[in-house]
A and B are shown apart, each in its own frame.
Chain A
């Protein structure tokens, strides 16, 4: 990450690439024949956005090969390859696996028949999907994932070629040698690609997008292939070599930059890129390129390479590209790339069925609305994915070196045995969950068997009868997806409101002076002892009079009255030194600002603990939803589960209801225990 930040302009370029890909997929949804002439041409231009993938490859080649070039030019050793591998793995694997897992689950739920499913799953997990047309698209739901295996293949090839360069050049290295080497490498790649075209072109049986995903990949296949895409990558590598040379020879670079040659070059090359895309927008796929390669290779690719070199060295244009929005987009670009198609699929499953199909929407306003929704949700999902899935792993890799080696503790056999015994006990506690998973995957006949089905045969035999039928039934017949959505809305709403309301209350109790403080403390704590369930009938009446029946607020508002929350936050706030507040007061900050800017960030562990406790209560609440949500469409999961009359679906829905709390808890459980402990320390 550090290196990437150093180059101006590349963030903007990366963001542009990402937006291009998204616009391409957006444009695909609209029926071009029923649009106005002008809109048709805009749409055609957007459809060229698939070239964003080429941008990605050039940029990756540029950034990843830079450390190698730097060492090459400065006559240093070959860089640490294990570090390179670890960083690549940390960058790609967590996000990709998360997205892939979600896509697989959605595909299992929504796609009726999938050919080569097992093959796609295995190759998808091992980053080898791109080597055969039966697996090119590892997921039926998330098609952009095809490029990941290509990219990973390039990650492998680049250091190999670089190693060759370091070996060949030996001690007498020069910039010229490096560039000539890579030009030869590029020619070699194109040569191998020619062989692939000659010998590995798929046959014409069922070839074409009209035969589904497999036919489509057959149609794409020799033109799109991992070797060919390494050609795009290689352009980035060459650009990187040139940039490394410029950075080493500062005088030369400044001389050129002072004449604004880089600025002019970047403007000309970006204009040329736009012009090229405009020119080819009405042409067929795989034209205007050598070897029928996609993305107008090598012309567009070369332009991108020139653009990136000139942006990196430019005086002005680089900064122009790096606006705040573009920087942010670039930061989450990987997330956007791997998640946006999942969002498209979700919108088509739940909001607008035509949204999945190619050019199916006639009304452009409907299309624009759905697309805007898709883009907004994608940004949200990508941000979450970056902060909670991708970044933790990247940070971990970067922190590995800074860690100090701990001295080894003595192994005490007694403690080890006692830990082992406790672990066995704990496993016994988790065991019913595994049982639930097993039962939910069995066909209905096997669920209620005595002795259990899993003991009637060997385990491997008995697993063979697993099906996804129960899950399908849960989603299709019993609308569990909608209930899940309702539960998520209600829980997150309650957590949010509770955090605000309770922290304000606790803030007043701790940091403000007023009379009858004790009274206010006690009445808040007394709500802890009120058996709310005993008051279900008046609750119904109150909700009815306030028009809160069949409304999310009918569950969210009462849920926010949390005596335990007041207790927990108060305990935590008491430990925050008053000096912090006083200093802020001196600076003229109001209580509201102190609460928001100082206290809430400081109290994060306590808020995490509160959030988990509240989530647990609301997510599992049955009585309030059954009273307040009378409309089937608004039911939360527990109520929905009680109404399901098919055992298999009940189990499937039950397992679904566990997944989200489980993920949240495993993610935040350290903060949860810390918040609780810190809150209680005297």
Chain B
């Protein structure tokens, strides 16, 4: 497919080779082997024998699997719906301030939670939400909410808790990314609008939003994918008492492969299905939200 006649082309390939080789080994081959494993009844270290598409059939019939898919998608939808607008508004707010040092302090402060190990974040929030008189309830009570919630032992509160912690951890990078984008915007339309006497809302709607669309789409997709992949946060937050309404796909695969019955083959099949589901989501998002390519050029 690629001709190597030109010297330059050969050199270009040489420059790209390290990345391409690593990509080949750790994504393409990993991929293929994943598929091959999913066709076997491998269990633990036993390689197993070929059983065709039986694993796929079983997984697709497994209500736990579909539950985990539902949990992941619900979580991703809720998280993205909350995080992206919030991060966007906060970054607009930060960029509107005239104080340089305060701006960089704010960005750092919002970003710091995302430096924390997700597992540790889970454990930390266990602490903040422990017992009926926990610090979280004190804060909630302060703002007029119900101050007597038992967060860690209440199944219905598990999902909101997950959303809260994920919000705390993820929003920092989004804010920094949006701020960087806002700063890099071309200023001339703003000057024109100011001369025309346009209001703040109309500037936001007619200039900022369209200009920021690629960045918003990019962030939406990457955030959605990483939310779909949520795993160690659940493990850290709920530890040995994981309710099924917070068991996401990856956790399901992990539990199947390494905890429940060591069904490597079946778990591989689940991994493959999950992979395509997630890929489909990101492609759909690209399509629906439009102009995915423009961001690249």
Contact = CB atoms under 8 A, between A and B. Distances in A.
Contacts of A507: 15
A477 interface: no
A35 interface: no
B22 A422 contact: no
B289 interface: no
A662 B112 contact: yes
B8 A529 contact: no
A426 B109 contact: yes
Interface stretch (A21-29, A121-129, A518-526): A518-526
Given A435-B124, A531-B278, A665-B111, A422 B97 contact: yes
Contact of B23 (A527, A662, A681): A527
Contacts of A528: 222
Contacts of A651: 123-124, 127
Interface in A668-682: 669-670, 672-673, 676-682
Contact of A527 (B27, B98, B283): B27
Given A561-B23, A654-B124, A539 B30 contact: yes
Given A426-B110, A429-B110, A661-B115, A642 B235 contact: yes
A534 B120 contact: no
Interface stretch (A331-339, A340-348, A447-455): A447-455
Interface string A452-475: 100100000000000000000000
Interface stretch (A1-9, A289-297, A508-516): A508-516
Give the residue among A507, A520, A595 with the most B Cβ atoms within 10 A.
A520
Interface stretch (B179-187, B189-197, B201-209): B179-187
Interface stretch (A40-48, A60-68, A104-112, A616-624): A616-624
Main secondary structure of the interface of B (DSSP, over half): helix
A119 interface: no
Interface string A555-593: 001101100001100000000000000000000000100
Interface string B85-129: 000001001101111001011111111111111111001110110
B133 A450 contact: yes
Interface string B222-250: 10010011011001100000000000011
A542 B107 CA distance: 40
Contacts of B1: 516
Contact of B26 (A435, A447, A561): A561
A567 B278 CA distance: 21
B78 interface: no
A501 B23 CA distance: 11
B16 A520 contact: yes
B94 A432 contact: no
Contacts of B120: 436, 638, 641, 653-654, 657-658
B29 interface: yes
A538 interface: yes
B176 A673 contact: yes
A162 interface: no
A401 interface: no
A537 B264 contact: yes
Contact of A673 (B25, B93, B104): B104
A542 B283 CA distance: 27
A515 B9 contact: yes
Given A505-B19, A669-B104, A451 B133 contact: yes
Contacts of A546: 25
Contact of A619 (B117, B130, B138, B236): B117
Interface in B270-288: 271-272, 274-275, 278-279, 282-283
- B interface, size bucket: 35 or more
Contacts of B131: 448-451
Contacts of A653: 120
Interface string A81-125: 000000000000000000000000000000000000000000000
A677 B181 CA distance: 6
Contacts of B179: 673, 677
B267 interface: yes
A507 B31 CA distance: 27
B178 to A, nearest CB: 10
A504 interface: yes
A433 interface: yes
B177 interface: yes
Given A535-B271, A557-B26, A508 B117 contact: no
Interface in A603-660: 616, 619-620, 622-623, 637-638, 641-642, 650-651, 653-654, 657-658
B18 A501 contact: yes
A432 B275 contact: no
B62 to A, nearest CB: 16
A619 B114 CA distance: 11
Contact of A504 (B18, B34, B118, B176): B18
Interface in B39-85: none
Contact of B115 (A616, A623, A676): A616
B279 A529 contact: yes
B19 A616 contact: no
A520 B172 CA distance: 31
Nearest to B111: A665
Contacts of A661: 115-116
B157 interface: no
B25 A534 contact: no
A412 interface: yes
A537 B257 contact: yes
Give the residue among B111, B117, B267, B282 with the most A Cβ atoms within 10 A.
B117
A171 B207 CA distance: 72
Given A508-B15, A531-B228, A531-B278, A622 B264 contact: no
Given A418-B96, A561-B22, A665-B108, A530 B118 contact: no
A404 interface: no
Given A412-B98, A508-B15, A536-B257, A670 B104 contact: yes
A542 B32 CA distance: 10
A430 interface: yes
Given A531-B278, A560-B22, A623 B104 contact: no
B254 interface: yes
Contact of B99 (A419, A533, A620): A419
B168 interface: yes
A566 B254 CA distance: 30
Given A432-B128, A514-B6, A529 B12 contact: no
Contacts of B271: 534-538
Which 5 pairs of residues, A with B, have the shortest CB-CB distance?
A450-B131, A538-B34, A426-B109, A681-B184, A654-B120
5 contacts: A418-B97, A448-B127, A536-B257, A537-B34, A542-B25
Interface of B: 1-3, 6, 8-9, 11-13, 15-16, 18-20, 22-23, 25-27, 29-34, 37, 90, 93-94, 96-99, 102, 104-120, 123-125, 127-128, 130-135, 138, 168, 172-173, 176-177, 179-181, 183-184, 186, 215, 221-222, 225, 228-229, 231-232, 235-236, 249-250, 253-254, 257, 264, 267-268, 271-272, 274-275, 278-279, 282-283, 296
Given A422-B94, A542-B29, 18 more contacts: A418-B97, A419-B99, A422-B97, A426-B110, A439-B127, A448-B131, A505-B16, A527-B23, A533-B229, A538-B37, A561-B23, A638-B117, A641-B120, A665-B115, A666-B108, A673-B107, A677-B181, A679-B180
